[in-house]
Amino acid sequence: MVRSTLLGFPRMGPHRELKTALEHFWLCESTEAELRQVGANVRALNLEMQRVVGINLIPSGDFSFYDHVLDMSALFGVVPSRYGWSGGRVDAGTYFAMARGAQKSGVDVPAAEMTKWFDTNYHYIVPEFEKGQKFRLSSNKPVDDYLEARHLGIDARPVLVGPVSYLLLGKDRDGGTPLDHLEPLLEVYIELLKKLESAGATWVQCDEPFLVCDLDERAQLAFAAAYERIRAATKIKIFVTTPFGTLDDNLDIAMRLPIQALHVDLVRGAGQLDDVLNALPSSMILAMGLIDGRNIWRDNLERSLQSLEKVVGKIGSERVWIAPSCSFLHVPYDLDLELSMNHEIRGWLSFAKQKLDALVYLERGINDGRETIVAALAASGQALESRRTSSLIHETSVQERMREQPLNMVGRATSRAVRAEKQKQALELPLFPTTTLGSYPQTHDVRQTRAAFRNGRLAQADYDAFIKKEIEKCVVFQESVGLDVLVHGEFERNDMVEFFGEKLRGFAFTEQGWVQSYGSRCVKPPIIYGDVLRPAPMTVATSVYAQSLTDKPMKGMLTGPVTILQWSFVRDDQPRSATAHQIALALQDEVLELEENGLKIVQIDEPAFREGLPLRRYEQQAYFSWAVQAFRLASTGVRDETQIHTHMCYSDFNGIIGAIKNLDADVISIETSRSQMELLDAFATFKYPGQIGPGVYDIHSPRVPPEDEIVSLIEKACRFLDPAQIWINPDCGLKTREWPEVRLALSHMVMAARTLRAHYGQI
């Protein structure tokens, strides 16, 4: 019989219970025991939901209090020495210090580096290996989670990051490479597997997403070596998962692994099924990743069932599992919570809970016959046809404008050098100009007032007056701190993507469609269901008002087309490039109107530019082509004197530096603080022609950096960059921080800039 399974489930709970519990705990408003109880409640709810729906093979250990990669580091004792851990169990204080940094009771340590999980908007904490790295079991989490599930009557399958992918996700700080640590890691990994086996587990899931990436010869050999060692040392059955793409040239490696089951992504890698079937060993179970774990569109049950029938006909039902393409971590919890969404659009959607139903329908249809799921097949087909023919999707004016815009003639007409000189005269900024990257603290008062307005309890005039008052206070604050270029604070914005989506046609929104980004940080991605159109100005009034309050330059703040695309659930009935270009045309109208109304600087944020890069090199040039076009299209027609900024965060720039140059922005700001300016290595050999703001402190941590630390970081940056190129700014927006720490941190930042100006010859 074919069996159903999944790879992981959302962790926050249906109403973000974990987020609330974490933030209370961090504020010392609750105990660790209370936090752990909330975690236990969320895990129990998730397990019971899967059992009741009828999932056959249920995972355990997919829950985390912050990040599953950080959990693996805590599990194996991979704790950098700066955190003062002395061995034994990794306690909550050490765990959260690695995640968020710590600055209390005489302890002052920054957070560990954080970056994107493959090509998703989820962030993980980068493992950091030191010279003589010792691995030891420093947590019992996988065993505890397995026993917890068994106590609830579920014989679950523990989930781990596979040993090779775990190492490849990390960095070696002492000149070696992460794979140097494979042998000692495997000793402890096998020790853990034996503990799970002794506890009663018969299967373990090892997530190895690097198998869908380009691998060098050493990494390819590491997979074979690792799983040969595991097979020789334990009898537990191994299920390897390969989400996010196609095995391609790693197909033979995967098929030769001495494992009992292999998962393949048949959503991102739909075309690989025949090759997989031809290479599949007769002893191996195939887990078919048919249900999309990355998007929210309702599954095409007929198409998935046909794929199942084909595979079962070839290898038999006992060797087939039905699975999602990846963990459901990347989609919202439950569509049933969306009570006010447009009914037609709602019928096209499926969230994590509904995707469980799709898995079970497919299992029933293949095991018991199509006639047992006739109603489900009909409903799926009707939803697909409704979406295909809906009048909501197409805007004639957008299609006409797309046809009229030649994409090979977009961008600024004048060279960056000519523009730089005109901008220098227009802006009159000092050496090492200081600024921030958009948002300021979203206090309880701000959030409550915005909620009152959205719920109809506050009149438009009263809300506008409140926002103007917040902008005024923010401008006064920035001038008092001494910043050179100001922003309006974004108090009217709930989220940097959702805010714009609400003002554009073609977007739909959820009430409870939260998805974890990192830690307790959740986002509510818009749904792009149709053609994108800007019916009216979006930011002009607030930006113009803010500029009227100061003689200093005020930045207009926009989210870029690639980031709006990446951080939304995107329609799949046209190429992603077409949707990106539609968004870019809407933003172009906004940029030109900001300029026309006196804004001399416009920031078009693209923090997701690197995130959108395909995992395989052979697919990357096509992405760069349309993504760069989209950004340049957004600034087409802008005058030379107007300075265009962009912002990118948590990126490895080595592979994309040429594309960043091609964006032709005048100034880019990048995250570098968590990596101690290491990410600027990309600029050592590539002489970037524009100006750069390397983020000097980590806004995702409550820690306030001292002035000398900021000076030291900028001096490191001066090894790679001309001082005249450098701006000084935090590494991201400040909406999640508190005002006292923001004032102190920015004061240190401005003082550091003044120290640097004195040192480099300009006061």
Instruction: List beta partners, residue 3.
Output: 321
CB 517 within 8 A of CB 121: yes
Inside any domain, residue 536: yes
pLDDT in tens, 663-688: 999 999 887 665 555 656 666 677 88
Inside any domain, residue 412: no
**Cα 463–chain centre separation:** 32
368: confidence class by pLDDT, cuts 50, 70, 90: very high
Range of the domain at 560: 419-759
For residues 136-140, give the mean pLDDT: 96
**CA dihedral angle for residue 144, residue 150, residue 154, residue 157, rounded to 10 degrees:** 40
Distances (CA, A) of 716 to 274, 672, 673: 51, 11, 11
**What is the per-residue pLDDT for 763?**
43
Inside any domain, residue 478: yes
Does the pLDDT value for residue 593 go beyond 90? yes
Inside any domain, residue 64: yes
Query: How far apart (Å, rounded) are the C-alpha atoms in residues 475 and 472?
Result: 5
**What is the per-residue pLDDT for 495?**
86
- Looking at this protein, which amino acid is placed at residue 694? P
Residues 377 and 431 in one domain: no
The two tokens of residue 361 are 């329908």
Residues 376 and 471 in one domain: no
**Residue 523: exposure state from Cβ atoms within 10 A (0-12, 13-18, ≥19):** middle
**Tokens 């299920």 — which residue?**
239
Secondary structure letter of residue 686 according to DSSP? S
For residues 226-246, give the mean pLDDT: 97
447-483 CB burial, b ≥16 within 10 A, e <16: eebbeebeeeebeeeebeebbbebbbebbebbeebeb
**What is the per-residue pLDDT for 260?**
98
CB 494 within 8 A of CB 455: no
pLDDT in tens, 260-277: 999 999 999 999 999 999
The two tokens of residue 562 are 């690639």
Catalytic member of 68, 700, 748, 759: 700
- Looking at this protein, which amino acid is placed at residue 388? R
pLDDT in tens, 619-655: 999 999 999 999 999 999 999 999 999 998 755 666 7
Sequence-ordered list of residues with C-beta below 8 angstroms from that of 547, at least 6 positions apart, any chain: 554, 598, 599
* Residue 481 φ/ψ, nearest 5 degrees: -75, -30
pLDDT in tens, 99-112: 999 887 777 898 99
Count CB atoms within 10 A of the CB of residue 717. Answer: 21
Inside any domain, residue 623: yes
pTM reported for the whole predicted model: 0.92
Query: How far apart (Å, rounded) are the C-alpha atoms in residues 256 and 234?
Result: 18
Residues 339 and 475 in one domain: no
**What is the per-residue pLDDT for 723?**
93
Query: How far apart (Å, rounded) are the C-alpha atoms in residues 700 and 516?
Result: 14
What is the three-class DSSP state of 164? Answer: helix
Inside any domain, residue 410: no
228: confidence class by pLDDT, cuts 50, 70, 90: very high
Q: What's the per-residue H, E or C state across 639-653? A: CCCCEEEEEECCCCH
CB 610 within 8 A of CB 568: no
**What is the per-residue pLDDT for 678?**
60
pLDDT in tens, 432-481: 999 999 899 999 999 999 999 988 999 999 999 999 999 999 999 999 99
Residues 376 and 428 in one domain: no
Query: How far apart (Å, rounded) are the C-alpha atoms in residues 211 and 253?
Result: 8
| DSSP-assigned letters across all residues of 482-505 | T-SSB--B-TT-S-TTHHHHTTSE
Residues 494 and 634 in one domain: yes
Residues 224 and 95 in one domain: yes
For residues 5-13, give the mean pLDDT: 97
Query: How far apart (Å, rounded) are the C-alpha atoms in residues 603 and 232?
Result: 56
**What is the per-residue pLDDT for 641?**
97
700 noted as active-site residue: yes
**Tokens 């299209």 — which residue?**
633
For residues 362-388, give the mean pLDDT: 96
Domain count, the chain: 2
pLDDT in tens, 79-99: 999 999 989 999 999 999 999
Q: What's the per-residue H, E or C state across 287-349? A: EEEEECCCCCECCCHHHHHHHHHHHHHHHCHHHEEEEECCCHHHCCCCHHHCCCCCHHHHCCE
Residues 374 and 488 in one domain: no
pLDDT in tens, 406-432: 877 788 989 999 999 999 999 999 999
For residues 9-30, give the mean pLDDT: 97
Does the pLDDT value for residue 397 go beyond 50? yes
Beta strands in 22-81 (DSSP E): 59-60
Inside any domain, residue 407: no
Does the pLDDT value for residue 518 go beyond 50? yes
Residues 302 and 440 in one domain: no
By percentage, how much of the chain surpasses pLDDT 70? 97
Residues 646 and 709 in one domain: yes
Sequence-ordered list of residues with C-beta below 8 angstroms from that of 343, at least 6 positions apart, any chain: none
By percentage, how much of the chain surpasses pLDDT 90? 85
For residues 283-287, give the mean pLDDT: 97
Query: How far apart (Å, rounded) are the C-alpha atoms in residues 336 and 581?
Result: 33
Residues 451 and 371 in one domain: no
Query: How far apart (Å, rounded) are the C-alpha atoms in residues 17 and 33?
Result: 15
Which of 342, 371, 389 corresponds to the end of one domain? 389
**What is the per-residue pLDDT for 651?**
56
Mean per-residue pLDDT over the chain, rounded: 94
Query: How far apart (Å, rounded) are the C-alpha atoms in residues 631 and 608?
Result: 12
Residues 236 and 295 in one domain: yes
The two tokens of residue 111 are 């957070």
**What is the per-residue pLDDT for 473?**
97
Supply the Cα-derived Rg of the chain in whole angstroms: 26
Inside any domain, residue 166: yes
**Tokens 């995702």 — which residue?**
700
**What is the per-residue pLDDT for 650?**
53
Does the pLDDT value for residue 507 go beyond 90? yes
pLDDT in tens, 340-350: 999 999 999 99
Residues 362 and 486 in one domain: no
CB 512 within 8 A of CB 522: no
Instruction: Please report, for the domain that includes residue 444, its CATH number.
Output: 3.20.20.210
Query: How far apart (Å, rounded) are the C-alpha atoms in residues 276 and 254?
Result: 10
Segment (H or E) for 206: strand 203-207
**What is the per-residue pLDDT for 721?**
86
